Structure 1
Amino acid sequence: MPEVPAAETGPSVKAPRKRPLQIGEDFTVKKKSRWGILTSQGSWADRSPLHEAACQGRLLALRTLLSQGYHANIITIDHVTPLHEACLSDRVACTRALLQAGANVNATTIDGVTPLFNACSAGSASCTQVLLEHGAQAQASPCQPSPIHEASSRGRSACLEALVRWEADVDYVIPHLGTALYQASLSKHLVCIKLLLDAGADVQRGRYEDTPLHVAAQGDSEELVSLLLEFGANANARNTEQKRPLETAPPSGLAEAALLQFEAAPRSLRQLCRLSIREQLGRRRLNLIPQLPLPSLLQRYLQHR
């Protein structure tokens, strides 16, 4: 029988230190390689059996441990909870069981990481949805790791779609990262970029003076440059080096060709009208376009489809 910690009710219950968890060498290497910035490495010695069950998706073992007195909010020295573990490993059944047992859906590690951030990092759309349904904060607190930035930079489009649906701020800025749109553009994740733009993300907001169009031009992505221009990106915006996107594009590249073509043939009246109407509607009402008493053709036009 494992040693069962005394029953406690607070979220800051420490994991037992007397019986360090024995983890197989192969599993340890694999897990640590995924851990990244999510937690510090020092928490491995004091992970509880509940952490291990959540990580490996052993639902029966997890429920047994909970019934024996292990607290759902038991933490390691780095404040990693079993819920963090379940979400990072895409264990949706364990995630549900922990939440039903009273796990803190917004628990943070010493690095400020939440279970929602872990779910987005792992690309677990199921865990992301379950967490949001149980009150997870879709928007990160200031200066804390941001789920929407993580989903955008890693191309986790299903997680990003859930965050947008639960009204995460698509224009939220982290100084050293910029906006989620900037991160998605930097990583060239077109599906995530389209999701953010459809949700009304400001096409001009990036990181400091660099716009998403600047980073798209630097990455020589013709498709991304064309998409950003379609949504109203300013081809004459200047970055911190006072350069326009065209001036940052690789010479004779695809992005340069797309920007030169745009300068030779500016936006049509049709494009300008669409951008103006979307601006008048406002970001928070763009999702209501399908409900407008308009022909489906016009609805698709306003949605860039």
Structure 2
Amino acid sequence: MSSWDSPPDYPLSSDLVRRLKSALATGDKDTVQELICTEVEPVDAVIELANDDWMKEPSAQLPTGALLGLWTLEYKRELTTPLCIAAAHGHVFCVRHLLGHSADPDARPGGRGALHEACLGGHTACTRLLLQHGADPDLLSAEGLAPLHLCRTPASLGCAQALLEHGATVQLECVPGRDTPLHVAAQYGLDEHAQLYLGRGARVDARNGRGETALSAACGAATRSPDEHARCLRLCALLLRGGAAADARDEDERSPLHKACGRARPSLCTLLLLHGADAGALDYGGASPLARALQTATCAPPAAPQRTVQALLNHGSPLVWPDAFPKVLRTCAQVPAVIEVLFNSYTQLRVSESWQEVIPEDVYQMHEPFYRSLFALAHTPRCLRHLSRCAIRRLLGKKCFLLVPQLPLPETLQMYLLLEPEGVLR
């Protein structure tokens, strides 16, 4: 009989579980230690910390989420062991005590073992203790994840090092999505983990079940803070130096550049372009990196969307079809700097006064100087300086970013040639 079918040694309703959950909730380490080390018997007892089996109680008030998911008839139950609890919370004394009393380091009644829990919490000392007592470094959880796949935070670097020292397989694929530990490091922006794995022989261009390389996964991952963004940039630079293909396509034919543009990361886009990424690549939906940047411009951080568009155009990105410009205007109305950069990449684009209808009135008022300058061009040709800019850019082609800074011109003119926004159109 499996632990799922067998009644737990300490069910949710037991006095010990109530006290244990209270101690865990309040961070009372001493009480947790006392309960685990002195009251729980046997040492590998199965403890029930949660039970959402509402089917057992017909009179229970069900949350909306449960009602919406009624058809699945899910039975959720959290079973664990004293060793898993101690490892998850970094209680080294408890882990040592339990292992000294022959606790099974690979027991996983709830689907994850103690080593999984230690890695999730980034508890290096617990991880090393478990490995020293014979824990399997490649033990798969019920979800098909090895401990290395659960090293997902900067604090877990020591855990990853310990696992590899004890024989963990650096190229092991997880069951659900075939992610390797390097993919996981890329998804979470863990540059030091990635360096560790590459140093241990991880294949830089290994593909997961979605056809992604680690570089592709890193470029598509969300970053929220400047620190996360900096780590992601370092990680991608590391992967590229290690031989990662800058243009590797996933199952949707999206390149790392498509994903970086969709996240409005100008520094990352520039890095990829400098390593040969194709600014004109099309995915299965026919979208280019420029299209991805324009689609997400309004929800990007300030200045990021125009810098992304600028980088693409200075590396030879094809322009938007002129007849589609009103759609760009509608999508990017709130970020006029994007419209300015794109508009200035055309030698002459016919401006229609009807375009004003696609711009919300409050947005027009907020950015009135720019939009007045745009619609003033409805009856006026572009100035000679702009036409000269276009001629030079056409001559330099995809190498604008490289050759313009070498021209014997003042920096202000160099920036003008590279489409630096000015706030108005002339």
TM-score (norm 1): 0.74
Q: Deviations over 1:181-223 (max 9, x none)?
A: 1111121122211222222322226xxx974663233442433
Question: Any unmatched runs of 5+ in structure 2?
Answer: 1-105, 122-140, 222-228, 298-304, 365-369, 421-426
Structure 1 counterpart of 2:319: 203
Structure with the greater relative contact order (CA < 8 A, sep ≥ 6): 1 or 2?
1
The 2-side partners of 1:210 and 1:68 are apart by 61
For the pair 1:126 / 2:234, whether they are aligned, the reply is: yes
Deviates most, 83-92 or 54-63: 54-63
Asked whether 1:246 is paired with 2:344, we answer no
Match of 2:295 among 179, 186, 189: 186
Matched, 1:283 2:381: no
Task: Determine if contact 1:21/1:48 at 8 Å carries over to the other structure.
Answer: no
8 A Cα contact 2:212 2:249, kept in partner: no
Classify the secondary structure of the residue corresponding to 1:282: helix
Q: 1:112 aligns with which of 179, 194, 211?
A: 211
* Distance in 1, Cα, partners of 2:375 & 2:273: 34
2:5 alignment partner in structure 1: none
2:380 maps to what in 1? 265
Report the CA distance shift for 1:227/1:128 in structure 2 as closer, same or farther (over 3 A): same
Letter in 2 for 1:291: Q
Contact 2:314 2:399 in 1 (8 A): no
The answer for the alignment partner of 2:264 in structure 1 is: 155
Residue in 2 aligned with 1:73?
171
> Does the C-alpha gap of structure 1 residues 46 and 192 become closer, same or farther in structure 2, counting only changes over 3 Å?
same
Post-superposition shift, 1:277? 1.2
The normalised TM-score by structure 2 is: 0.55
Q: Determine the structure 2 residue equivalent to 1:214.
A: 327
Which residue number corresponds to residue 341 of structure 2? 227
- Partner SS for 2:393: helix
Structure-2 change in CA distance of 1:220 and 1:303 (3 Å): closer
Structure 2 letter corresponding to 1:145? R
Asked if the contact 1:86–1:92 (Cα under 8 Å) also holds between the matched residues in 2, the reply is yes
**Residue 74 of structure 1 aligns to a residue in which SS?**
coil
Structure 1: 5+ residue stretches without partners: 1-16, 29-42, 238-242
CA shift, 1:246, in A, is: 2.7
The alignment's C-alpha RMSD in Å is 3.4
Note if 1:87 corresponds to 2:189. no
Indicate how the Cα distance of structure 1 residues 244 and 286 shifts in structure 2: closer, same or farther if over 3 A, else same: farther
Rate the CA distance shift 1:226–1:284 in 2: closer, same or farther, 3 A. Answer: closer
2:151 partner SS: helix
